[in-house]
Chains A and B, each alone.
Chain A
Amino acid sequence: MKVNRYQLFTIIPVAALLILGLVGCQKEEAAQPAGLAPKVMADAIHAVLEADRTVYTKQVITRLVKKEKVIKASEQFEDDKALPLPAQMFRFGSELVAEKDSGFSYSLQSLWPINKQNEPKTDAEKKGLQYIADNPGQNFYTEEELGGTTYYTAVYPDVAVASPCVDCHNDHKDTPKTDFKIGDVMGGVVIRIAM
């Protein structure tokens, strides 16, 4: 098929418009990634973390250590042949997740940390932990850029659900706060999802 000069003048602009249109569509699609919205995913992850943490604290630590008094819970649980503390169980889980490169990470932090490595560090963590302390029962959501990657960052209140939580924190040598009560926000669970 032969294409004359006039037809060429028509085809080129139409093709250019089509290509631009396609690129535009692709851009629009990229702005709305498929799958769960990060907030829904973060909330779901937190629901599981919070449930497991509460079960371990109440059904294992409170029952065996406080009520039945059959075993101790200790930060040095290997040397003391004791149960790991709830915060340690939480951290061990987060470390295993970190090894799997699952696209998200989580940690337990506090404005009053026993281990100074767990105090808020990024601006989002600082704002988020302050927000959940000032607004009991509410979560904090934001986006932040770390090392060239954008993260959806969610901060959830970590509440003292049983007496071992407050006893251990109030009595610890390194605690900066000694008057926690059951029901207090002691810290926050920070979940990060890479965007």
Chain B
Amino acid sequence: MSGLRGKTFYRCTVCNDIHYGNIAPKICPTCISKDAYVHIAEREAGVILKFLKIEEGKIFIENEVLKTFEDFTKSKDFTLNPDKECIELIVQGVLEHEEQYGLKYCPCRMTSGNFDEDLSLICPCNFKIQNNWKEIGECWCSLFIKRKE
């Protein structure tokens, strides 16, 4: 969803900083991570910032979520998993979780019940800190995989 003069929301996948603007910041002003922002819907921003309830505002539909994930991989050292069935299952999962619980929680990790703690489970997450990424070059759910040299 685009807002005033084409502005829209972006979320830092490392620290969940929210940016409202025409383009995603190259460097996160909060955690200084580079190229870590992903395009998100207004409701996702509102729920993270705690001024919207989970039933308020529109969320992205499946194709829009997939596009944000694809865009997120551009010029990065990782890409989407080529297994379309796997991607479809994960996208359906994150959308179901957003519908039911307010945020795009990872379908392969359960929430703790603590809102702030569970912000780390929003997809895309900060998967480069995970052992899975370090050991096999995949995020925990295998949505994002290391690009081959």
- A and B associate in one complex: no
Residues of A whose CB lies within 8 Å of any CB of B are none
Residues of B whose CB lies within 8 Å of any CB of A are none
